[in-house]
């Protein structure tokens, strides 16, 4: 069998020997790193393109040092050989080099970016691919939800395991810092509702029903929804960005190495804080919206403060208040859960963190609307 051994690159810290035309054996020795990787790729890539090549073995016995970029190169070379149905193996690989290669996520490398042909598929192919992605995302969310629930139950049984300082800090970030913007939006929402409804109701002499309309609409539906949307936009995105950045910087891996459970350490305090704060924010949202409606009632409709307050209390029931609180607690769990899940699923760099942040907000809003629709149907038949 014809031999075509070549050797070079010693001045770059790595030595390359390529032998045999058909059953090729690639020998790498010295130091393989990002600094000399381009040189190695220029000489190895043509090897995989040989039409007469029937097998390839990579001898790593002489490698004394390897970094993550070089390990990624070796794994991609293995994947390229597998894609070409070419027998491939690493020989004489040291435990140290194998340990660095094992640190990489082989499944992500195997999937790789979609090819142009995959992107330009037909309508049914796009629908099928989107459906598979949706089901995969649903499965990941359900899996993480189960993990988060189990860790929350563990913390409920072991309160000492909760990082209470982080809970207090999250209460400040989610609740106190967002109260001012929520108060302004709710006040204006109540004012607009009262003003627009009064334009219609005064034609029938029913100005007194403005107070009832604003109170019922805010306490039952709009209060929890406005609060949840604001929290999802402010805090849900912040949670995803925070955990995603920690994942990119390998701080989550460091927590695992030190023996901490990352979900219990990072997600549970945020979940507890949201469950406490979001119902309180909803209460303040209702209060400020009623205040906006009262401003219109007193200044524009000739109602007194006492009359407007009586009409509001007459319209509201315990059922309305309890269902509003229940909705807000469920919304808090959804927002925090999806934010943490998107953060823990980050793989890559800054772009991946940005995508996870956007996805957390979009998915959170979607879940809020769907859940509120379910509440509207169920609570219509459940009264007490």
> Can you give the pLDDT at residue 3?
42
* Contact between residue 30 and residue 64 where contact means Cβ atoms under 8 Å apart: yes
6-111 belongs to which homologous superfamily? STAS domain (3.30.750.24)
The answer to pTM > 0.85 is: no
What value does the mean pLDDT take over residues 71-81?
Answer: 82
57 pLDDT band, cuts 50/70/90, is confident
318 pLDDT band, cuts 50/70/90, is confident
Query: Which of 44-48, 89-93, 168-172 has the highest mean predicted lDDT (pLDDT)?
Result: 168-172
Dihedral sign for Cα atoms in the order 121, 122, 128, 131: positive
Q: Which 8-state DSSP code applies to residue 380?
A: T
pLDDT digits (tens, 9 = 90+) for 282-300: 999 999 999 999 999 888 8
Pick left, alpha or beta for residue 112 (phi over 0 → left; psi -120 to 50 → alpha; otherwise beta). Answer: left
CATH 3.30.750.24 maps onto the chain at 6-111
Euclidean distance between CA atoms 77 and 380, whole angstroms: 60
pLDDT digits (tens, 9 = 90+) for 229-282: 999 999 999 999 999 999 888 888 888 888 888 999 999 999 999 999 999 999
Q: Of all residues in the chain, what percent carry a pLDDT higher than 70?
A: 88
Instruction: Please indicate whether residue 70 or residue 166 has the higher confidence score (pLDDT).
Output: 166
């Amino acid at each position: 069998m014809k031999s075509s051994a070549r050797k070079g690159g010693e001045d770059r810290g790595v030595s390359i020997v390529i032998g045999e035309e058909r059953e090729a054996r690639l020998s790498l020795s010295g130091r393989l790193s990002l600094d000399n990787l381009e040189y190695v790729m220029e000489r190895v890539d043509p090897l995989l393109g040989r039409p007469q090549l029937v097998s390839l073995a990579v001898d790593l016995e002489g490698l004394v040092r390897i970094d993550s970029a070089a390990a990624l190169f070796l794994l991609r070379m293995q994947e390229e050989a597998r894609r070409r149905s070419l027998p491939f193996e690493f020989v004489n690989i040291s435990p140290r080099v194998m340990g660095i290669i094992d640190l990489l996520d082989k499944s992500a490398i195997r999937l790789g970016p979609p090819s142009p042909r995959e992107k330009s598929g037909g309508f049914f192919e796009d629908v099928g691919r989107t459906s598979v992605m949706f089901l995969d995302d649903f499965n990941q969310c359900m899996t993480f939800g189960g993990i988060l629930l189990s860790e929350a139950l563990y913390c409920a049984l072991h309160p000492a395991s909760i990082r209470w300082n982080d809970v207090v800090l999250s209460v400040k970030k989610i609740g106190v810092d967002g109260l001012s913007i929520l108060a302004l939006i709710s006040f204006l929402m109540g004012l607009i509702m009262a003003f627009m409804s009064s334009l219609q109701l005064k034609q029938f002499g029913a100005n007194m029903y403005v107070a009832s309309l604003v109170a019922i609409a805010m306490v039952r539906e709009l209060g929890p929804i406005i609060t949840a949307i604001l929290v999802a936009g402010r805090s849900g995105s912040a949670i995803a960005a925070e955990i995603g950045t920690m994942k990119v910087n390998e701080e989550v891996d460091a927590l695992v190495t030190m023996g901490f459970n990352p979900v219990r350490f990072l997600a549970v305090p945020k979940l507890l804080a949201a469950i406490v704060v979001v119902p309180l924010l909803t209460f303040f949202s209702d209060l400020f919206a009623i205040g906006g409606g009262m401003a219109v009632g007193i200044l524009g409709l000739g109602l007194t403060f006492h009359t407007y307050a009586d009409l509001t209390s007459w319209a509201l029931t315990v059922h309305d208040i309890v269902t509003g609180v229940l909705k807000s607690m469920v919304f808090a769990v959804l927002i925090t859960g999806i934010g943490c899940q998107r953060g823990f699923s980050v793989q890559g760099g800054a772009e991946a963190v940005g995508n996870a942040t956007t996805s957390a907000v979009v998915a959170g809003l979607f879940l809020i609307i769907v859940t509120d629709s379910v509440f509207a149907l169920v609570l219509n038949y459940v009264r007490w």
